[in-house]
Chain A
């Protein structure tokens, strides 16, 4: 069974001083993960970005696994990041709308382990956000990922915008119009075409002035 998981952290919505305090990051980053930051590849990465990168990967992995294990409780210290590779070229520029598809684009990548599950992540860091997705294969074949900036940060606006964003992409991919999103009792989003539940795992997220989706689909 395929699943999907993503997360986004708006960098203007975080408290840098709090983020970089040991009391904060040690709640979800274990010492072995903290040690990654000593690697030379992180030389140009601010520590607060490193902390929120790990958070976004763990949150994405939790969402992915929650659909497969509905009784799963979010336990970030048990979602263990095994390795991280920083892209050679890091572009911090961002467009109003960004969607995956450029095969030459490099991301932060690595693995995240939860019990017997091994997942792979891709993360995109700009001046405005840190966004991550996870998948069960490292190639992310048939995984769609989009990020969009929005006009205000109210929960209602974020919620409406992210649903419209993903539904527009799904309509384009599936060539159907009557799509809607609901959430299961466990909080996992599901897609209906009229009254038919579609076999598409979707995930969406919002924070500050950003919304993002990811989903797996073999239709194109």
Chain B
């Protein structure tokens, strides 16, 4: 799965946690989950759990703490997908 495909799937993961659907549709790798998408920090773990389910991967402590913007989320997911391939 390439980064564009991961980004497309990631929008579905993030959607329940942001009110700003317009901003979500236009996200880039620089988009910050909290500052730009206004996602409540209390939902960050939900996003990690949902990403694990969406991509059938396991995201550990060290990887999870990098997932504060979209580019970092894609890095983590991509790395985990490559390990399971």
Contacts and interface: CB of A to CB of B under 8 A. Distances in A.
Contact of A9 (B34, B42, B64): B42
Given A13-B42, A155-B19, A73 B49 contact: no
Given A18-B49, A77-B65, A187 B42 contact: no
A187 B69 CA distance: 14
B61 A18 contact: no
A209 to B, nearest CB: 13
A24 interface: yes
A170 B9 CA distance: 44
Contact of A187 (B35, B45, B49, B59): B35
Interface string A69-105: 0000111111000000000000000000000000000
Given A24-B45, A154-B19, A74 B40 contact: no
A50 interface: no
A204 interface: no
Contacts of A59: 41-42
A14 interface: yes
Q: Chain A interface secondary structure, helix, strand, loop or mixed?
A: mixed
Interface in B27-47: 34-35, 38, 40-42, 44-46
Interface residues of B, number: 20
Range of interface residues on A (Cβ < 8 Å)? 20 to 34
Nearest to A9: B42
Contacts of A67: none
Most chain B Cβ neighbours within 10 Å, of A23, A27, A52, A55: A27
B48 interface: yes
Contact of B68 (A52, A55, A73): A73
Interface string B52-85: 1000000101001110100000000000000000
Nearest to B38: A155
A205 to B, nearest CB: 9
Interface of B: 19-20, 34-35, 38, 40-42, 44-46, 48-49, 52, 59, 61, 64-66, 68
Interface of A: 7, 9, 13-15, 18, 23-24, 27-28, 52, 55, 59, 73-78, 154-155, 187, 206-207
